[in-house]
Chains A and B, each alone.
Chain A
Amino acid sequence: MKKIVCLLLSAVMTLSLLAGCGSSGSAASSGGEEKDTLIIAVDEDISGLDPFAQNTSLQNTYTILNYDSLLSLDPATGAIQPGLAESYDIISATEYVFHLRSGVKFHEGQDLKASDVKFSLERAAASTGMASKVSQIDHVEVEDDQTVRIFLNTPSTTILNNLAFCGTSIMCEEWCNANKDSFKNNGTGPYKFVEWKPGESVTYERNDDYWGEKGAMKYLEFVVKTEANSRTIALETGEIDVNAAPATIDFPRFESSEDIELYSVPSTQVAYMSMSYNYEPFQKLEVRQAIAYALNKQEIIDGFLDGYGVVKTTILGSGQQYSDDSIPGYEQDIEKAKQLLAQVGYPDGFSFDLAIRGESRSVEAAIIQSQLAAIGITVNIKKMEGAAYTDLAMNEQMQANLGSWQPATSDADNPLRNLLYSSSKASSNDSRYNNADYDAILDAAIQETDPAKAQELYSQAQMKIYEDIPMIPLFAYYWNIAANKHVKGVVIPAVGDAMVYKNMYWE
């Protein structure tokens, strides 16, 4: 018996010795050697390699490393700048000519030609994820190797925002046709795709022949760590250098830590509560007003986001084009709310189902539930699985829900149209708002080339949302990145949903 116990003890000791021999694998601890890989932890994995297959922020983050579009966005300001196209001419409201830079090569060696642009835009139109981004394009003509002419089927100024978005990335026609059965990355971007280990990591290598400002680090390795705690711990031990999705609950730890820097800026992702016109009580404007007067948005931010949020009175994020933060909000006024309800026949309140997707908004829903209880309204929180939640909207069975919108492009039209335009019924117009005046404002604004006039129109649209209350904008999330103090060049973009990593480096 003693022998067995001895054997066991020595086995455990040996094991722990071996474990101790290997360090925790942090590249950071290797002194003297210059660090050439920046390790970033992300909270999920991509589902596939094709940038056009799905419009998700993680995929877009990778796409902008690998590919370029005709135009690009300045991360700090969100302004549209030249990309693969050095310049463009607006021939008419429906005709644009783009002049491509010369000498640009794809990572696999092919030269960039105008025919690649035509191919890529047509590929996007036939794709599953990016078709809506090129739906305004009627057809594309190739004039010569450096010149592309794009014809729109409707006058639109947002085509420029769409062409600055990575969903219209330019791919190599020859390469894509040769790799039709199994997509392989080949872009013109600042980083080359190295490999994808599904469920584990994605690795990129700097493109030293890049036509523009070269990437700072030689290698970028994105590791998948789905559990928030393990991302936090990995950052503290130095196993990773950047935590792309820190949990707000860990912020005090980061802020008091000497080794970690927290970057936190208001994002363009705005959360809202939507009330459906299909549900009888919500058909009365006074009921919507009452609910707006009953809510205390700051309390929601404090309780749900630990203060890391900004109250919003408009659905457009502050960095979004034509957002108008002067739109008034409804200051909490319980008495007024009760009066309004009584006015339209609900002196004792009523009840409704508030649908939320998954677990993430449950604290927020509970806060709203208690705020509305103060005016006699009973909120039934319905936590739903993602696909079932979407189905509820599509089958016109939603009563109210908590949603949010993160515009992938920088234009005002994106959120205003997707969320509230009458024909956006598929899944995003939760409230089923159907207002011809609102539609008309958006249709006029999208064609308006004078920025001052466009601002007027978009402010009108935002005011209309304030007056009709199809939805109540609640708050803008903060975009947070936690990184090791040695990581420099962290810039959180002002618009879009793709984080910019190409300028980050280790010092």
Chain B
Amino acid sequence: MKGMAKYILHRLVLLIPVVIGVSFLIFFIVNLAPGNPAQMIAGAEASMEDIQRIEEELGLNKNIFVRYFEFMRDFILHGDLGTSYYSDKAVVTAYFERFPATLRLAASFIIVAVALSLPLGILAAVKQYSIIDRLSSFVALIAVSMPNFWLGILLILLFSEKLGWLPSGGDKYWYSIILPALTIGLQMMALMTRMTRSSMLEVIRQDYVNTARAKGLSEKIVILKHALRNALIPIITSAGSLFVDCVGGSVVTETIFSWPGVGKLLVDSISKRDLPMVIGFVTITTIVITICNLGIDIIYALVDPRIRSQYASGK
């Protein structure tokens, strides 16, 4: 496993230039965008003097390169991404207060998607062109064509209003996550069912599957143990990339269900020009996404010995 450890270290080291590059870009984009943060904070009744005073307090009147230097210095030396202009909270604190909710949400999407798409995809592949195959394609098409906010509201109307089974939003009870999970999970399921089906179809055609059958193994073992294992790589890829998409925050879902995640907070910070929050969140998200991608690559290695040896040998 020494080769693996080296591989992981190598990937983590590569993280550094990525984070520096992203934070540089976002810092300058956000600072050069129209809108005056001091004016946004001060509000409509402020005088020019009030606005200038706030600009000074926040350090906005300093040269932009000086500010970037100070930002990077605080970040690299102290891990300090600054303080929100509005709440006096450290950006890092504000982020990790809301991040678990986003993480749980993203995980729940994938769990719903995989739990539904795996059996459906396998069935569709094994019984190609049967009723099950056509039905699953049809359902997938509908799920993927629906706008997610529309699906979300329909689910609320059904399960919250008509049936009264589930709450319409918030994160108060353990079952509050069910409707948001279904909203995006069903759409992910649609995408992943197709992926699973085509990946399985490719594998089933292989010679070694026929060999396994010829050896007298039960169909169940042939499909679930031998075929599925080899079909997993593309499935993990699509599940992984869908997960990574959501780990930065799913704004629409968070808005509809008032889910206290980081996506909504980021969008609100952008509207208010809460610069440290925007820059800090994007920087942290970059790190989180990179680590998640690394995690997915490690899962590949666990699943497929060929990939494991590839990493270990330094490819």
Contacts and interface: CB of A to CB of B under 8 A. Distances in A.
Interface residues of A, number: 68
Contacts of A56: 43
B28 interface: no
Nearest to A196: B87
Given A54-B41, A54-B86, A225-B258, A390 B35 contact: yes
Nearest to A424: B47
A237 B153 CA distance: 15
B127 A388 contact: no
B207 interface: no
B88 A425 contact: no
A427 B44 contact: yes
A10 interface: no
B161 A199 contact: no
Given A54-B41, A234-B169, A226 B51 contact: no
Nearest to A183: B88
A5 B120 CA distance: 9
A387 B271 contact: yes
Interface stretch (A125-133, A309-317, A447-455): A125-133
Contacts of A90: none
Interface in A185-231: 197-201, 223-227, 229-230
Interface string A418-439: 1000011111100000000000
Contacts of A325: none
Interface in A385-433: 385-388, 390-391, 394, 405, 408, 414, 418, 423-428
B221 interface: no
Nearest to A43: B258
Contacts of A390: 35-36, 39-40
B278 to A, nearest CB: 12
A200 B260 contact: yes
Contacts of A386: 35, 40, 271
A20 B264 CA distance: 29
A24 B35 contact: no
A100 to B, nearest CB: 27
Contact of B173 (A22, A47, A132): A22
A237 B160 contact: yes
A470 B94 CA distance: 44
A405 B53 CA distance: 24
A47 B156 contact: no
Interface in B257-275: 257-261, 264-265, 268, 271-274
Contacts of B172: 25, 200
Nearest to A414: B45
A24 B175 CA distance: 10
Nearest to B164: A24
A295 to B, nearest CB: 24
A334 interface: no
Contacts of B57: 128
A19 B166 contact: yes
Interface residues of B, number: 68
A133 B97 CA distance: 33
Interface string B31-65: 00111100111111111101101100100000000
Nearest to B178: A19
B211 to A, nearest CB: 22
Contacts of A132: 45-47, 50
Given A131-B46, A132-B50, A199-B264, A48 B84 contact: yes
B171 interface: yes
A135 interface: yes
Given A199-B264, A237-B161, A426-B48, A129 B42 contact: yes
Interface string A1-23: 10011011001000110111011
Given A19-B178, A50-B88, A199-B265, A1 B127 contact: yes
B234 interface: no
B131 to A, nearest CB: 12
Given A48-B89, A129-B43, A387 B167 contact: no
Contacts of B98: 198-199
B123 interface: yes
Q: Which of A4, A20, A128 has the most CB of B within 10 A?
A: A128
Contacts of B156: 229-230, 233
B255 interface: yes
Q: Which of B41, B57, B259 has the most CB of A within 10 A?
A: B41
Interface string A53-73: 111100000000000000000
Interface string B55-91: 0010000000000000000000000000010111100
A269 to B, nearest CB: 12
B165 interface: yes
Interface string A289-314: 00000000000000000000000000
B46 A1 contact: no
A426 B51 contact: yes
Contacts of A7: 119
Given A226-B255, A394-B36, A48 B45 contact: no
A437 B3 CA distance: 83
A414 B166 CA distance: 46
A424 B47 CA distance: 7
B20 interface: no
A319 B182 CA distance: 48
B164 A237 contact: yes
B126 interface: yes
B88 A233 contact: no
Given A25-B172, A230-B156, A426 B39 contact: yes
B170 interface: yes
A387 B264 CA distance: 18
Contacts of B5: none
B45 A428 contact: yes
A48 B88 contact: yes
B89 to A, nearest CB: 7
Contacts of B40: 386-387, 390
A388 B255 contact: no
A200 B258 contact: yes
Interface string B149-183: 00001001101110011111111111100100000
A88 B97 CA distance: 46
Interface string A220-261: 000111110110011011010000000000000000000000
Contact of B123 (A1, A53, A129): A1
B59 to A, nearest CB: 14
A491 interface: no
Given A390-B35, A427-B44, A427-B46, 18 more contacts: A1-B126, A1-B127, A19-B165, A24-B165, A53-B88, A128-B41, A132-B46, A132-B47, A199-B261, A199-B265, A224-B170, A224-B258, A225-B258, A227-B256, A388-B34, A390-B40, A423-B47, A426-B47
Q: What 9 A-B pairs are tightest by C-beta distance, nearest first?
A: A387-B35, A48-B87, A199-B260, A47-B86, A391-B34, A388-B34, A132-B45, A200-B260, A24-B164
